[in-house]
Structures are given as structure tokens and as C-alpha cells.
Amino acid sequence: MFDRMKEDIQAIMARDPAAKSSLEILLCYPSLHAVWAHRLASFFWHRRLKLVGRWISQAARWLTGIEIHPGATLGRRFFIDHGMGVVIGESAVVGDDVTLYHGVTLGGVAPSVDSDSQRGTKRHPTLLDGVIVGSGAQILGPVTVGQCARVGANAVVVSDVECDTTVVGIPAKVARKEAREQAQFMPYAQGAHISDPVLRELAATRQAMLKLQQRVESLETERQGGLPGDTQGERLTLAEEVRSEDSQKAANG
Ligand SMILES: CC(C)(COP(=O)(O)OP(=O)(O)OC[C@H]1O[C@@H](n2cnc3c(N)ncnc32)[C@H](O)[C@@H]1OP(=O)(O)O)[C@@H](O)C(=O)NCCC(=O)NCCS
């Protein structure tokens, strides 16, 4: 039991850049309290003491702002960052290493319509291992969100999401599909492609420069075409000058 508790704390430390110490996590992270309360609630729920389980879950909700139904199945190293307003329904299934942010719902599509026929059915989502769900996202119905998929903040997901895919918007649509090996955890689910803002800016500058080079090249070609005797090799074009300066800079580091 203590190993699992230690693992829960380590999972938060690994996934929240704001976390400073294990003691802070123990005292100040509602995710930890809600998940531990859920383990207790689930214990009673599955031993025919459903009301006790339900009551523990409700008490945890008062204390943490996170509502997890005792019938929900949670995997290991589950982390709900900030937590307030998260609702996890009775038949929801959450895999290992899943991260949710505040305001996320793993809910049914229309629980109030013909409720009797929905009792005891699978009506909530399944999140496979490594999924990250952004703040305010709503995942509705018995859909499956594939391994390492990411759901954008405020998205509404009503159909299955493939593994390693980022979906955004209402209804959620694919925004990006990344290779499995790139899909390691990034705090706040930011793209694994370039996470450093300075590198991102450099890459954008480089792209703009390449476009300019191409434009200058095509202008030079047009100009050469219009000047008889002005052949390639007789003079260095402006484009070549720009490119050679660029490669010199790259060589100098
Ligand atoms: C969805 C998300 C994971 C995408 O991050 P990313 O992989 O870096 O992708 P990008 O930022 O390059 O965005 C890809 C496209 O989706 C759009 N997009 C990103 N997030 C979006 C969102 N939540 N809703 C709608 N569109 C979104 C971008 O504008 C971009 O569109 P474009 O290609 O037309 O320019 C991220 O934006 C997100 O929502 N993370 C949740 C973070 C969160 O909940 N933080 C709370 C911390 S307290």
C-alpha cells in the first residue's frame, strides 16, 4: 500500500513543474486526496456497501472539488492537476499514467433521458494509458480515447480518438498525429515537437528565411532570363550570397 502511495506522489512530481517537494504534494494536491479516497470508496462499493462507498466519494468531493464515482475504475499513477470541477462517471475506465486538468468531465451523453434503460450499462468513456485531457474538456459517452492521445482544453469528444492523436474543438477533430516514440508526457500537453519557446522562435525565423531565399532565387532567375549574356556562373546571385552567409554562420555555430 505504501509503495502505491509513494508512486502516486512521484507521478505528480514528475508531471507538475510547479511541484516542489513530496510534503507539498502530500498536503496541497487535491488529486492525491481524491484518488486515495476513491480507493477506499471503491473498496466498499465492490463489497456491497454501496452507500458507504458513495458517501466517501461525496465527502471527498466536498474536500477536493473532484467527484469520482466509486464504481469508476482508475489505473495507476493517475493525476488530476488542480482538480476543481472534475467529474468521473460510474462506468468510466481510466488507464495508467493518465493526466486530467481541472473542469474535465468523463460523463454520459444524456443521463437524464430514459435513465432506467441506462442503469448498469457502460455509458462513460474509457481512457487508455498515457492520455492527457486539457482543462474544461468534456468526454461524453462510451467512447475510447487511445493510448497517449491528447484532448485539447475545452474540447468536446463524442467519438473514439485514435492513439497518439491530439484532438481539439467542438466536436473534437484531429489537430495532430504524432509518432508513438515522440508522445512522452509534456506538462500541459504542449507539443513534443518543439517545447522550448526560444527554439520554436528560431525554427520559425529559419523557415521565414528559407522562404525569402526561395523568393529572391526566383526573382533572380526571372531577371537573368530577361538579360541576354547574363549567364549563371558569371556572377554570384543575391540568393547565393544570402545562402553562403547563412551556411558560414551555421559553421561558426
Ligand atoms: C491541444 C493541445 C494539447 C495542443 O498542443 P500542441 O500539440 O502544442 O498543438 P499546437 O499548439 O501546435 O496546436 C495545433 C492546432 O490546434 C489548435 N489548438 C490547440 N489547442 C486548441 C484548443 N484547446 N482548442 C482549439 N484549438 C486548439 C492550434 O491553434 C493549432 O491550430 P492551427 O494548426 O490551425 O494553427 C494544447 O493546445 C492544449 O489544449 N493543452 C491543454 C493544456 C491545459 O489544459 N492546460 C491547463 C493547465 S492549468
Look up residue 134 and give its three cell numbers: 486539457
Our answer on whether the CB atom of 154 is closer than 6 Å to any ligand 1 atom is: yes
Q: What is the pLDDT along the chain (253 residues), one digit of tens a residue?
A: 888 999 999 999 999 999 999 999 999 999 999 999 999 999 999 999 999 999 999 999 999 999 999 999 999 999 999 999 999 999 999 999 999 999 999 999 988 888 878 888 899 999 999 999 999 999 999 999 999 999 999 999 999 999 999 999 999 999 988 755 544 566 666 654 555 566 666 666 666 776 677 778 778 877 776 544 444 444 445 455 555 666 665 555 5
Angle 200-203-204 (CA atoms, 0-180°, nearest 5)?
85
Domains of the chain, start order: 2-189 (2.160.10.10), 197-251 (no CATH)
Ligand 1: which residue has its CA nearest to atom 18? 168
Ligand 1: residue of 166, 167, 199 to mutate (most ligand atoms within 8 A of CB) is 166
> 152 in ligand 1 pocket by Cβ < 6 Å?
yes
4, amino acid identity: R
Task: Please give the Cα distance from 210 to 79 (Å, whole number).
Answer: 42
Indicate which residue's Cα is closest to atom 12 of ligand 1: 191
Residue 97: how many CA atoms within 13 Å on its side-chain side? 14
Cell numbers placing 193 = 515537437
Atom of ligand 1 minimally distant from the CA of 190: 8
| Separation CA 111–CA 90 (nearest Å) | 11
- Residue 235 CA to ligand 1 centre (angstroms): 47
CA dihedral 115, 119, 122, 124 (to 10 degrees): 50
Single pTM value for the model: 0.74
CA 12 to ligand 1 center in whole angstroms: 22
Answer whether 188 contacts ligand 1 (Cβ < 6 A).
yes
| Ligand 1 close to Cβ of residue 150 (< 6 A) | yes
Reported for 80-84, long-range contacts at CB under 8 A and 24+ positions apart, including other chains, are 80/30, 80/31, 80/34, 80/35, 80/104, 81/15, 81/16, 81/31, 82/30, 82/135, 83/29, 83/30, 83/31, 83/34, 84/30
What strands lie across the sheet with 156-157, from one edge to the other?
67-68, 87-88, 105-107, 138-140, 156-157
